[in-house]
Amino acid sequence: MDDKALQEAVIQELEWDPQLDSAHIGVAAKDGAVTLSGHVSSYAEKRAAVEAAERVAGVVAVADELEVRLPSSSIRDDSDIAESIAHSLRSNVSVPDSVDAEVRDGYVTLRGKVNWSYQREAAERVARTTLGVKGVSNLITLKANVKPVQIERRIAEAIKRMANLDSNQITVTATDGTVHLRGRVHSWYEKRLAEQEAKSAPGVSKVDNQITVVPV
């Protein structure tokens, strides 16, 4: 797919996604790398735009240059945002009490320790969908102590179960809680799938995703 066709495909995907108002999003494409520019009305919309671009066949990388411009109806004091996030975190069964959030100028920092990566992901989803949030930094760490060989085996088995992934093309290694993924897939979407599977394994604190996207 040439740059013009890829640009048009990403634009169409952004227009198709009901979570997005693509009117103020610009798209540029060069050699499979897509750059999103312009502005959106929430951090959740910003993340949805990036994920939409990643889904398009032929995309090998996405540069996020989108700015969050909150409408006047979404602007809130940091204390209000923090209170809303705290309430949502307490109400979410996937997030333990060890997680807390700090808000400064609309930007949220999450801290604490959890046992599972999915708990980190759940806390981040709570923060990024809260009204008034402009950005999220997830500094939550994992306290599970699992041997590297166990991590590698469980992730390799999980990837092998995925119908959308060719496990023969992906290698998994683990050191000190960091998982290293290498190999080849045919789309950015498949690359993200492999990363999500790795994040779901116990004992994983970070995923170094070095998988190369080679479009068909």
Q: pLDDT tens-digit profile of 94-111?
A: 999 999 999 999 999 999
Euclidean distance between the first and the last CA atom of the chain, given in angstroms as a whole number: 10
Q: Is CATH 3.30.70.20 what the domain over 74-142 is classified as, yes or no?
A: no
Query: Does the domain at residues 148-213 carry the CATH identifier 3.30.1490.20?
Result: no
pTM for this entry: 0.71
Average pLDDT over residues 30-47: 95
pLDDT higher than threshold 90 for residue 214: no
**Residue 9 CB coordination number (10 Å):** 20
- CATH 3.30.1340.30 domain residues, the chain: 3-68, 74-142, 148-213
State phi, psi for 104 to the nearest 5 degrees.
Answer: -140, 120
Q: 3-68, what's its fold?
A: Histidine-containing Protein; Chain: A; (3.30.1340)
> What pLDDT is stored for residue 71 in this prediction?
92
Look up tokens 């066709």; give the residue: 5
Q: What is the pLDDT of residue 144?
A: 64
Give pLDDT tens digits for 136-166. 999 998 876 678 888 888 888 888 888 777 8
